[in-house]
Amino acid sequence: MTHSVPVAKKRADYQPADFEIEHVKLAFYLDETRTKVRAISTISRRVKHANTLVLDGVDLTLLSLNIDGEPYHDYLQTDAGLQINIDADNFELCIDTQINPEQNSSLEGLYKSAGTYCTQCEAEGFRKITYFLDRPDNLATYDVYIEAEQAAFPYLLSNGNPTGQGELENGKHWVSWSDPYKKPSYLFALVAGDFDLLEDSFSTLSGREVKLQLFVDKGNAAKGEHALASLKKAMAWDEQVYGLEYDLDIYMVVAVDFFNMGAMENKGLNVFNSKFVLADDLSATDEDYFNIESVIAHEYFHNWTGNRVTCRDWFQLSLKEGLTVFRDQQFSSDMASAAINRINNVKVIREHQFAEDASPMSHPIRPDEVMEMNNFYTVTVYNKGAEVISMLHKMLGQTGFRAGMDLYFERHDGQAVTCDDFVNAMADANQKNLNLFKRWYAQSGTPEVFADYLFDEQNQILTLSVKQVNAPTADQSYKQALSIPLDIEVLDSTGTPLPLFSGQQTSAVLTLEQQQQSWSFHCANQPAALCLLRDFSAPVKLHLSQTDEQLKLIMLNASDAFSRFDAWHQLLNRYINQTLESEHPQQGLPQKALCSIKNVLAEVLNDDKIDLALKAEMLCVPSFETMAQLNSQIDVEALLAIKQGLEHFLATELVESWFYHYQNNQTAAYEYNQQQVAKRRMHNVCLNYLLIADAAKYAEQAKQQYLSADNMSDTLGVLKACQDNHVALFDELMADFEQRWQHDALVMDKWFALQAGAFRSDILSRIELLKEHSGFSLRNPNRTRALIGTFAFYNTQAMHHIDGSGYKWLTEQLILLDKINPQVAARIVTPMLQFKRYDAIRQPLIKHQLMRLANQPDLSTDLYEKVSKALN
Ligand code: 0A1
Ligand code: ZN
């Protein structure tokens, strides 16, 4: 919390620290409200004449300070830490502090999560544990001693290897740990609690046995099996694909219920939001199974990309996050459907990252200015960061990329480095100049690419002309041309890919490097349609004018699943845009457009050659968020009318097909495998259309599915389909669901989210009631995101109600939440930040609420940074 106006730190101001902490011995005497921490740091001077050691420290009670065994008094205590005046070159600093884990609701530093002590130190949480050089470029070895009551906390865990344990008087015990690898403070972790333990082992490529331990809440052991199996898959994959082995003898994962993010890669001791660990057939959806595998892999991959090679400063966050997301996406594509995986990754970019770039929070993947680091764990740094790595991969190929990775580790293992160091390794390993490519790290915004082509039939020459436009963003007015890989394929009139460049190859990656560029190359025959952004080869908006027929040709024939999916969306977007530009957009799509769309969709539905997972995906009407990215202004009523009108038309016109495919896609006893996942998805897409078409007629069908489901995907499929289409059945089943699942926090999160997302006129009073539910607490981030976050992000109808009641209600919740957990509050404020994209009635309503927030006394830096940028 802050009283004075927070100031931004600048990337350009980076300075190495004057001193270095090489080793630290930490001792924890755990107590709910009065935990004592002793930190003995071995320190050396790095800069000759520097004589003030500046340590970070927040919310700490200083008990004593000694240097080389003697009490020391020449220091100043500030809001941000300690300034110790010291002349010695090498010394040992011993600091005793006291902290209050029970009261720590920010979930940064040491806190209690439902009876378990745990820590979260990224990005700057270690300073809430003790005074330290809490910056990622200070790499130290850690010895840790933990003391606590034995009965309540039989497991006392920290990073590295266990070195000792013993019993003490008064029912207490202790355990000590030592981590031989140097690490930054953000990777420190401590956990103390009582758990069920799942154990396994993994033998590495070089034959070492690694002990795997998964700690979950008592009674949940069976729900950890999938996570443990996923961990072993990830370990094997990283050896096969990158030649990277795990380095310690033990790898621990702990699941906790109160966690601000998904999970944390602390060295040898990952701490996970239980949402990304626990699963069984009845309680977890296919999506949950997928996410667990991917987050387990993500944290594991960090051991090399993040832990062994870490960031020099927090502006470089994408160094580890963009790269690790890229690696987890590669892994997921190898484990599950590569096509669906890619489509879903692109959806995140288009729905959320493009929106962020168009918002007041726009920033490059390597930001230049930061007020609150926690605000920069964004879709830009993570997901656009991964797209930037993916472009490198596309340009260098897997072999060149691997050579770059090998060189990166050879040069930088054990160091804290920059994004430039990474790109330099890629460049040097491939003898390529990537200086132009580096602009992706520095420039924010979504490039728009305009393309056109001509075919010279006589000479069989295809000329492709492309230009890029990089419009100013909230944070940067001056923009430069970027290096944009375009992965192309040309189809003939039968949908067959044509050989290009006089050879046999039918696809190629062309890299646009100037504002405007053209290529002329041999093309074996008259092109009928062009795919220019195969596999979404760059995070850009592409404009290429093609007819409905051309798009249909791509939809049904392109070799790449993303291109097929994308052609369908382009076709739809054309109709949507025509309607948005018409006189009465709020009447939805005209009959003629509806019929054309239906005819195309019917072809997809009846095409047996299309992969079932892709088909199910293509049969869905794009989300409101996807449609909202079509234009800079968001017409809420029109987009809702278009979406609902289209769904209704398709549902009723194709009702027999929906019924047929619903019946034909029943799955046998639940298994999490790709074939079943696709079938279930198709089954539930059809059920949704059936309930839209005739809720009364198909209610019984839906209820039967709910009653007989042996898995959560099918259960939730029914509830989602009823949510807006059959209120009576929804309420009946939701009451039953609550009865059945009240003991399971993760399933109850789904229940709260279903409630909050319902489009109904009494939604605000219902949510108010839900806030009083015994299971609701603003101190629980998963619950808060389920109820308040779902309302803010997905209940478009009520959140953006023209009377402003949604904005007002959300603001009231944010004011309360900011006092408890500013990080979560600052995420949920997101939908209000883009107020300028709404109409003349909504804009002042949202702005008024943002000003209300801005005027709160003691507003957190987290919210202050976002709200002040929005109002600027
Ligand atoms: N490094 C983690 C994400 C993470 C970041 C911040 C946290 O607390 C403020 C927690 C987790 C990852 O990428 O998985
Ligand atoms: Zn990460």
| ipTM field | 0.99
Per-residue confidence (pLDDT) for residue 284, from 0 to 100: 98
Cα dihedral sign for 496, 501, 504, 505?
negative
**How do 310-311 and 416-417 pair as beta strands?**
parallel
What interhelical angle do 317-335 and 385-412 show, nearest 10? 110
Tokens of 166: 């013993």
Report the residue among 122, 321, 326, 860 best suited for mutation to probe ligand 1: largest number of ligand atoms under 8 A from its CB. 122
Please tell me the distance from the alpha carbon of residue 251 to that of residue 220, in angstroms, as a whole number. Answer: 19
Nearest residue (by CA) to ligand 1, atom 3, is 264
Please tell me the distance from the alpha carbon of residue 364 to that of residue 356, in angstroms, as a whole number. Answer: 11
Using CA atoms in the order 82, 314, 324, 24, what is the torsion angle rounded to 10 degrees? -20
Indicate whether residue 264 lines ligand 1 (CB < 6 A).
yes
Indicate whether residue 374 lines ligand 1 (CB < 6 A).
yes
| 425 CA → ligand 2 middle, Å | 21
Ligand 2 (ion): residues with CB under 5 Å are 321, 324
| Run of H or E including 44 | strand 35-45
Answer left, alpha or beta for residue 107, where phi above 0 means left and psi between -120 and 50 means alpha.
left
Instruction: Name the closest ligand to CA 258.
Output: 1
Any idea which residue has 């005739």 for tokens? Answer: 694
Nearest residue (by CA) to ligand 1, atom 6, is 122
Q: Where are the beta strands (DSSP E) in 265-386?
A: 269-273, 310-311, 369-370
* Closest residue by Cα to residue 78 from 99, 98, 55, 101: 55
Identify whether 299 is a catalytic site residue.
Answer: yes
Residues 832, 870: contact at Cβ < 8 Å? Answer: yes
When pLDDT is averaged across residues 415-431 and rounded to a whole number, the result is 99
Residue 299 CA: nearest ligand 1 atom is: 14
Indicate whether residue 826 lines ligand 1 (CB < 6 A).
no
Instruction: Name the closest ligand to CA 271.
Output: 1
Any idea which residue has 């968020």 for tokens? Answer: 625
Residues 318, 392: contact at Cβ < 8 Å? Answer: no
Tokens of 616: 């199910």
Partnered with residue 155 across adjacent β-strands are 193
Per-residue confidence (pLDDT) for residue 1, from 0 to 100: 40
| Run of H or E including 768 | helix 763-771
Give the confidence band of 273 by pLDDT, cuts at 50, 70, 90: very high
Q: What is the DSSP letter of 315?
A: G
Q: What is the DSSP letter of 201?
A: E
Indicate whether residue 321 lines ligand 1 (CB < 6 A).
yes
Per-residue confidence (pLDDT) for residue 67, from 0 to 100: 98
Per-residue confidence (pLDDT) for residue 301, from 0 to 100: 99
When pLDDT is averaged across residues 694-709 and rounded to a whole number, the result is 98
Q: What is the pLDDT of residues 201-224, one digit of tens each?
A: 999 999 999 999 999 999 999 999
Q: Is 643 exposed, middle or buried (0-12, 13-18, 19+ CB in 10 A)?
A: buried
Instruction: Name the closest ligand to CA 270.
Output: 1
Per-residue confidence (pLDDT) for residue 5, from 0 to 100: 86
Q: Is 316 exposed, middle or buried (0-12, 13-18, 19+ CB in 10 A)?
A: buried
CB atoms within 10 A of CB 337: 22
Tokens of 517: 């560029």
* Closest residue by Cα to residue 291 from 305, 306, 274, 303: 274
Any idea which residue has 């009139």 for tokens? Answer: 493
Residues 256, 118: contact at Cβ < 8 Å? Answer: yes
Asked whether the predicted pLDDT for residue 2 surpasses 80, the reply is no
| 382 CA → ligand 2 middle, Å | 8
User: SS3 string of 14-36?
Assistant: CCCCCEEEEEEEEEEECCCCCEE
Indicate whether residue 381 lines ligand 1 (CB < 6 A).
no
* Closest residue by Cα to residue 429 from 409, 415, 449: 409
| 256 CA → ligand 1 middle, Å | 14
Residues 50, 19: contact at Cβ < 8 Å? Answer: yes
CB-facing half-sphere around the CA of 174: CA atoms within 13 A: 16
Report the residue among 118, 377, 378 best suited for mutation to probe ligand 1: largest number of ligand atoms under 8 A from its CB. 377
| 299 CA → ligand 2 middle, Å | 6
When pLDDT is averaged across residues 335-354 and rounded to a whole number, the result is 97
Q: Is 157 exposed, middle or buried (0-12, 13-18, 19+ CB in 10 A)?
A: buried
| 316 CA → ligand 1 middle, Å | 14
Residues 594, 646: contact at Cβ < 8 Å? Answer: yes
Instruction: Name the closest ligand to CA 276.
Output: 1
Beginning with the edge strand found earlier in the chain, give each strand of the sheet holding 70-71 in spatial order.
70-71, 61-67, 90-99, 35-45, 19-29, 140-149, 172-183, 161-167
Report the residue among 121, 128, 260, 261 best suited for mutation to probe ligand 1: largest number of ligand atoms under 8 A from its CB. 261
Q: Is 4 exposed, middle or buried (0-12, 13-18, 19+ CB in 10 A)?
A: exposed
φ/ψ of 168, rounded to 5, equals -125, 175
Tokens of 264: 């944390």
When pLDDT is averaged across residues 255-277 and rounded to a whole number, the result is 98
| 320 CA → ligand 2 middle, Å | 7
Tell me how far CA of residue 210 lies from CA of 25, 135, 205, in angstroms: 25, 30, 11
Please tell me the distance from the alpha carbon of residue 482 to that of residue 210, in angstroms, as a whole number. Answer: 44
* DSSP 3-state of 495: coil
Residues 110, 99: contact at Cβ < 8 Å? Answer: yes
Q: What is the DSSP letter of 619?
A: T
Per-residue confidence (pLDDT) for residue 810, from 0 to 100: 99
User: Which residue in the list 108, 122, 293, 299 is annotated as catalytic?
Assistant: 299
Q: What is the pLDDT of residues 752-805, one digit of tens each?
A: 999 999 999 999 999 999 999 999 999 999 999 999 999 999 999 999 999 999
Indicate whether residue 293 lines ligand 1 (CB < 6 A).
no
The contacts of residue 377 (CB under 8 Å, 6+ apart) are: 123, 261, 317, 321
Q: What is the pLDDT of residues 816-830, one digit of tens each?
A: 999 999 999 999 999
Residues 536, 342: contact at Cβ < 8 Å? Answer: yes
Indicate whether residue 377 lines ligand 1 (CB < 6 A).
yes
Give the confidence band of 147 by pLDDT, cuts at 50, 70, 90: very high
Indicate whether residue 122 lines ligand 1 (CB < 6 A).
yes
**How do 35-45 and 448-456 pair as beta strands?**
unpaired
Average pLDDT of the chain, as a whole number? 97
Residues 191, 176: contact at Cβ < 8 Å? Answer: no
The contacts of residue 109 (CB under 8 Å, 6+ apart) are: 58, 59, 99, 119, 120, 121, 125, 126, 127, 128, 129
When pLDDT is averaged across residues 528-557 and rounded to a whole number, the result is 97
Indicate whether residue 230 lines ligand 1 (CB < 6 A).
no
Q: What is the pLDDT of residues 314-329, one digit of tens each?
A: 999 999 999 999 999 9
Please tell me the distance from the alpha carbon of residue 850 to that of residue 834, in angstroms, as a whole number. Answer: 11
Partnered with residue 40 across adjacent β-strands are 25, 94
Tell me how far CA of residue 517 lies from CA of 94, 440, 451, 488, 514, in angstroms: 63, 19, 10, 15, 6
Tell me how far CA of residue 848 lies from CA of 18, 712, 808, 830, 834, in angstroms: 46, 41, 9, 15, 13
Give the confidence band of 503 by pLDDT, cuts at 50, 70, 90: confident
Using CA atoms in the order 210, 211, 217, 223, what is the torsion angle rounded to 10 degrees? 70
| 321 CA → ligand 2 middle, Å | 5
Looking at residue 21, its amino acid is: I
* Closest residue by Cα to residue 27 from 177, 135, 186, 141: 177
| 730 CA → ligand 2 middle, Å | 37
Asked whether the predicted pLDDT for residue 3 surpasses 60, the reply is no
Give the confidence band of 4 by pLDDT, cuts at 50, 70, 90: confident
End-to-end CA distance of the chain: 21
When pLDDT is averaged across residues 55-82 and rounded to a whole number, the result is 98
Nearest residue (by CA) to ligand 1, atom 7, is 122
Indicate whether residue 120 lines ligand 1 (CB < 6 A).
yes
The contacts of residue 152 (CB under 8 Å, 6+ apart) are: 115, 194
Per-residue confidence (pLDDT) for residue 842, from 0 to 100: 98
Indicate whether residue 261 lines ligand 1 (CB < 6 A).
yes
* Closest residue by Cα to residue 184 from 249, 265, 104: 265
Percentage of the chain modeled with pLDDT above 70: 100
Distance of CA 46 to the CA centre of its chain: 37
Indicate whether residue 263 lines ligand 1 (CB < 6 A).
yes
Any idea which residue has 């997809």 for tokens? Answer: 604
Q: What is the pLDDT of residues 285-314, one digit of tens each?
A: 999 999 999 999 999 999 999 999 999 999
Partnered with residue 11 across adjacent β-strands are none
CB atoms within 10 A of CB 453: 18
Percentage of the chain modeled with pLDDT above 90: 99
